Amino acid sequence: MSFWTHERGLTSWLATRDHKRIGILYLATVLVFLLIGGIFALVLRLSLVTPNNALVDAHTYDKLFTQHGIVMVWLFMIPSIPSAFGNFLLPLMIGARDVAFPRLNLASYWIFVTGGIVVLVALIAGGVDTGWTFYTPYSTAAPTAVTWAVIGVFITGISSILTGLNFIATIHTMRVAGMRWRDLPLFVWNLYSTSIILVLATPVLGLALLLVGADHIWALGLFEPAQGGDPVLFQHLFWFYSHPAVYIMILPAMGVVAEVVSTFSHKRPAWYGAIVFASIGIALVGFLTWGHHMFVAGMSTFDSGLFGVLSMLVAIFSAIKVFAWTSTMYGGRITLATPLLYIFTFIFLFIFGGMSGVAVATTSLDVHWHDTYFIVAHFHFIMVGGTLTAFLAALHYWFPKLFGRMYSEAWAKVACAAVSVGFILTFTPQFLLGNAGMPRRYATYPPQYQWLHVLSTCGAVLLALGMLLTAGYLVVALVRGKRVDNPWRSASFEWRTSSPPPADNFVDAPQLRDTYAYEEVAS
């Protein structure tokens, strides 16, 4: 009997302590937020088809891009892979019955939902027009629902910290007897790195946002120049979290890449140690790069140079990973299934997004690109494209694990093509727009930019169609998909129990040593 049918009834879900059910709850919740954030994005893109507000007026436009950012960053991308797939898979991958603190895990989910609802109410009731970055001094004086929005984000931050705590404690103390650190699947290593950032960076964001909220209510003037405050200090606090937040999103994505590449090449991951080293390295160096967001905000030349060089260091760790993934595929028996195709898109976006990242970390070039569409395109390529493609790869790869059913590979490939082409078509023109001088966050623009905006919107529509198609065949597969157990013939730990797993995860006591034993499977 699987965990789906083990207990029945609504409370058996809403009050569950089973990490698998909590993972499913997270998955359903973040998909709702993805839909909401996606609708905001689509309205924005459609409105930009003509130079003068095709769809919404300028103030609504300001609110929409703010809401798109807040929902996508804190309600979709941060929790997406770690909270949904991490919760479901982590105990399975280390041979544990559950996470270290199951009740805390459930609390973390409900705190997340509470925070999400507060954010949504703030966005719908009043709207917020500060940009997702809440920059002072505007955010402390803005006549919109800033206070409620920051309180909502603060609450989701508590959920993040609790999830990170739970994962670290689980990895340290719940491994099956005999499993050493070097036996951990790479996905687990990446969850570990992400958890470190969740635990250490999130409180600083929480503090910065609470200060904005308090300032908004009581006019403390902590960041208000008229009262002696320094608005740039807010930017320091904000980016001390929000730069590492990029790695909260991308590290679990990298974990997915490592697992998918290995499974679909039917081969042990190349350079296991180097990937682990690079994951931890990214998590640690990621704490020292936040200043690259403030090159034009009045930072000294020396500091800018230092932050620029440290930021480029991350590219070295990232390159190690790209080489490791490609050499894993080299000489493998490759199955070109949808999860791997999404990983190809990931690697493409990751390389170009990463290289443009090195470019914008160069202080002199950043002056030209700062606050233009070039930056928008850069971070959408690396952070959004990376997270979204890896999330979709994970969703397809582990779909049979979660539900015990198979989706239609043919439709999935069509959707994958639409999503990949759509995404690249949306953001490539934005690199060109930014380089030509189009600033971000503007509702209107001079007519010479129109053709690039139209191209970008076409891409966004194609992307939306691909996502709709994905939703369609996955829902069909939930009901009518062929029953399968391990369709990918993966050797990884999580596939060694049945699909979907029983409520207790394993029927017999698990013996887990080598997660990538492909020599045995091949024979």
Residue 465 interaction partner, one of other proteins, Cu ion, none, beta carbon < 5-8 Å per kind: none
203 binds other proteins (CB under 8 A): yes
The minimum distance between CB 350 and other proteins, in angstroms, equals 29
Instruction: Give the CB-side neighbour count of residue 37, counting CA atoms within 13 A.
Output: 22
Asked if 271 interacts with other proteins (CB under 8 A), we say no
Residues 239-258 that bind other proteins (CB under 8 A): 240
Contact 170, 90 (CB under 8 A): yes
Q: How far apart are CB 260 and Cu ion at their closest, in Å?
A: 26
> Is the distance from CB of 258 to CB of 208 less than 8 angstroms?
no
Which 219-278 residues touch Cu ion, going by CB under 5 A? 243
378 binds Cu ion (CB under 5 A): no
Q: Which position among 69, 152, 213, 229 is part of the footprint of other proteins (CB under 8 A)?
A: 229
487 binds, among Cu ion, other proteins, none (CB under 5 to 8 A by kind): none
Per rule CB under 5 A, count of chain residues that contact Cu ion: 1
Give the contact letters, 366-395, x = binds to other proteins (CB under 8 A), - = no: ------------------------------
Based on the shown chain and the rule CB under 8 A, indicate whether residue 358 belongs to the binding site for other proteins: no
Which ranges of 71-179 would DSSP assign to H, the alpha helix? 78-79, 87-94, 102-125, 138-141, 146-173
Q: Is 237 in the site for other proteins (CB under 8 A)?
A: yes
Instruction: Note whether 173 binds other proteins by CB under 8 A.
Output: yes
The answer to the question of residue 101 lying near other proteins (CB under 8 A) is yes
243 contacts which partner out of other proteins, Cu ion, none, CB within 5 to 8 A by kind?
Cu ion
The distance of closest approach from Cβ of residue 192 to other proteins in the complex, given in angstroms and rounded to an integer, is 12
172 binds other proteins (CB under 8 A): yes
Residues 34/36/37/41 CA torsion (nearest 10 deg):
120
Tell me: does residue 164 bind other proteins (CB under 8 A): yes
Q: What is the DSSP letter of 289?
A: -
**If DSSP states are collapsed to H, E and C, what string results for 224-282?**
CHHHCCCHHHHHHHHHHHHHHHHHHHHHHHHHHHHHHHHHHHCCCCCCHHHHHHHHHHH
d(CA 285, CA 252): 17
Please enumerate in sequence order all residues whose Cβ is within 8 A of that of 64, keeping only pairs 6 or more positions apart, or say none: 40, 43, 44, 47, 56
- By CB under 8 A, is residue 207 in contact with other proteins? yes
Determine, following the binding rule CB under 8 A, whether residue 97 of this chain makes contact with other proteins. no
**Of all residues in this chain, which one has the CB nearest to Cu ion in the complex?**
243
Q: Are the C-beta atoms of 191 and 87 separated by less than 8 Å?
A: no
Identify what 150 binds: Cu ion, other proteins, none; CB under 5 to 8 Å per kind.
Answer: none
* Closest residue by Cα to residue 23 from 69, 67, 88: 88
Q: Cβ-count burial of 124 within 10 angstroms (0-12 exposed, 13-18 middle, 19+ buried)? A: exposed
List interacting residues with Cu ion (CB under 5 A).
Answer: 243
